Amino acid sequence: MRPSVGNTDVDLSQFRCFIAVVETGSFTGAARRLHVTQPTVSRAVQRLESALNARLLDRSTRHLSLTPEGRAFHADLTEAYAHLDRAISRLHSSSVLRIGFCWLLPEQFSRFVARFAREAGVDFEFVRDDTATAGLDDGRTHAALLRRVPRDRPVTALPLWQEPRVAAVARTSPLARRDHLDWAELADWPLVRNAVSGTTAPELWPPDRRPAVGAVCGNYDEWLEAVAADQGIGTVPEPAARRTSHPSVVYVPLRKAPPVQVSLALPLRGAHPLAERLAAAAGREFRRSGGSAEPGVPPHRDRTPGAKHLISGAKHSFTA
């Protein structure tokens, strides 16, 4: 927005030129400070004086000096710039990119976000939120790393990579002594289901052969305790077996199990500019690695509406 004086517009460049002339004591010094030509500075000050209908500088002596009107205007302008600096500083301090997750934030994603933030010159926070969208619904987070994207929420998702599954069973279960399990045989055992942010549901099995649900919970910690109590078995991405231990839970390799898709989700409308930049960078980063962040994990296939939009529409670089 350009300030208007009478019927004439003035802009910040004219204000900057005037302040630089006053502080350096000459048009030449101002031009040097602002990296422009001396005539550019001179014309800017003249247009400002014309717009204000006031003489700001006394050019009648060998050295420039402020007129009484110029002295008063310079004082007011300096105070206005101080208010502007404070407003910009407050806005910058509040522009923290909040990235949600439900459980088990992958190491490769944490490293990627730290590098993105450093190169883009922004601050970020990881926020655990045990909801279906990890805080996107209520604006608590700007972006979210999800292993299950709810279809009934106004979000768009960018698939990043896939993770293989392992089975989680109680140490007292006969399955705990097995070298491996087949996906199909899990249908014979009760299932512990994390209904909010989990990745395993009976619908993953054929309609005529689905496991019964032995326990339902609302977050990963509750799920782990239910498995430990032998209320049923569960499946989780393989990184969970490496990073989450429990004295009463054994992780068993799975064969022929559907992989878990990891996606970066944003609000369908009104996404935070920093979140859009993050999605653009994530698309480049993980597409470059074939969508596979772990050894042996097959590349993902983009089946999520909006993912292509996030990549093709992203015109920002890391440092944009």
Band of pLDDT at residue 185, cut at 50, 70 and 90: very high
pLDDT at 70 over 70: yes
Q: What is the mean pLDDT of residues 297-317?
A: 34
**What architecture is domain 97-162+260-312?**
3-Layer(aba) Sandwich (3.40)
Residue 134 pLDDT exceeds 70: yes
**CATH label, 4-93, candidates 3.40.50.1360, 2.130.10.10, 1.10.580.10, 1.10.10.10:** 1.10.10.10
Give pLDDT tens digits for 206-253: 999 999 999 999 999 999 999 999 999 999 999 988 999 999 999 999
pLDDT-based confidence at residue 11 (cuts at 50, 70, 90): confident
Of 8-17, 44-53, 294-303, 311-320, the least confident: 311-320
C-alpha separations of 24 from 1, 16, 33, 37, 54 in Å: 28, 12, 8, 15, 21
For residues 164 and 162, what is the distance between their CA atoms, to the nearest angstrom?
7
- Identify the band that residue 191 occupies on the pLDDT scale cut at 50, 70 and 90: very high
Query: Band of the pLDDT at 94, cuts 50, 70, 90?
Result: low
Task: Output the pLDDT for position 3.
Answer: 53
Q: What are phi and psi of 34, to 5 degrees?
A: -90, -5
Residue 180 has pLDDT above 80, yes or no: yes
Residue 246's pLDDT is 95
**pLDDT reported for residue 72:** 93
What's this model's pTM, rounded to 2 decimal places? Answer: 0.64
Question: What pLDDT, on a 0 to 100 scale, did the predictor assign at position 1?
Answer: 44
Query: How confident is the model over 57-64, as a mean pLDDT?
Result: 78
The per-residue pLDDT for 64 is 82
**What token pair was written down for 143?**
């972006």
Task: Give the residue with greater pLDDT, 202 vs 317.
Answer: 202
Token pair belonging to 275? 């979140």
- Beta carbons within 8 Å of 315's beta carbon, 6+ residues apart: 280
| Per-domain residue ranges of the chain | 4-93, 97-162+260-312, 175-255
